[in-house]
Structure 1
Amino acid sequence: MNYNFRSGYENMDFDKVSGMLTNAYWCKGICKPEVMKGAGNSSLVVGVFSPENEQIGYARVISDKTRFAYILDVIIDDRFRRQGIGQHLMMYILQHEDLKEVYQFLLRTSDAHGVYSKVGFQPVSRPADWMEIRHSRPERKGHGKNS
């Protein structure tokens, strides 16, 4: 595989990342400032770059870097899907030095169970133990209610 993985906020092409995420089902219409704010408040951000240095993938992690890590916004540019890049991106994250002590990784997916199961993910073993509070996504000035 001739793709490079880079971590660090400063290494991301947020125009490209925003362009990919704005079409994703889990954050349809998200704007660049919101993507950047989320990345800036994350424990780890990772990009996948082509040999021509084009960013073609992205993921971020929220973690205490000790026990727990939540992986989100995992996305690969449509032109590069089904080549194993997403699987390699997940392995890069799971083996990252910053997360070496973490023993519980979580993520949500509606359509990529096969990708994640290949790197060890499985359905939550005790779903009844988990709870959530879910609010409507707040309206962002100038970006519409569903942005």
Structure 2
Amino acid sequence: MEGITIKDGLKNMDFEKVTEMLSNAFWCKGIKVDEVIKGAENSALVVGVFIDTNQIGYARVISDKTRFAYILDVYVDESFRRKGLGQKMIQYILGHEELTDVYQWLLITKDAHGVYSKVGFDPVSRPLDWMEIRKDRPKRI
């Protein structure tokens, strides 16, 4: 596809558009722009896919930039899916100069295992080692 660029950094993101996209995602239905911005500001990296100036994709990374990184909120606008743009975003993230020391990457997916396996992800090797605290999600009006 022509006119496609990947950009990173808060100043490059269209947070109104990102909120519109993420609020349709099953994992954060109804998310508000202030939550999206707060999450982005507290992330190690935010990335967007653009056609000219129109943002059509988003992802972010939480990381110590040394050992561990967690990729989340990966989203590509429905009308642009199945064109490899999600993979391009992940490859951009994995190759980002600020994250070159990271040796353990994690993400959670319900339905995109094929996308992530194409860029090197495998199921967690020791799933019984992982633990979590899961609280109820905040109510969104």
The interval holding the TM-score normalised by the smaller chain is: over 0.9
Give the Cα separation in 2 of the matches to 1:22 and 1:6.
Answer: 21
Which whole-Å deviations, capped at 9, do the CAs of 1:39-66 have from their partners, x for residues lacking one? 011010001111x210010000000000
Residue 23 of structure 2: aligned partner: 22
Residue 6 of structure 2: aligned partner: 5
Alignment of 1:1-147 (within 5 A): 1-2=1-2, 3-50=4-51, 52-139=52-139, 143-144=140-141
Unpaired stretches in structure 2, ≥5 consecutive residues? none
Give the Cα separation in 2 of the matches to 1:55 and 1:63.
Answer: 24
Q: Letter of the aligned partner of 1:40 in structure 2?
A: E
Unpaired stretches in structure 1, ≥5 consecutive residues? none
Give the Cα separation in 2 of the matches to 1:89 and 1:42.
Answer: 16
Fraction of identical pairs, as percent = 66
How far off its partner does 1:138 sit? Answer: 2.5
Give the Cα separation in 1 of the matches to 2:36 and 2:134.
Answer: 19
Give the Cα separation in 2 of the matches to 1:138 and 1:90.
Answer: 28
The count of residues paired between Structure 1 and Structure 2 equals 140
Q: Letter of the aligned partner of 1:81 in structure 2?
A: R
How far off its partner does 1:137 sit? Answer: 1.2
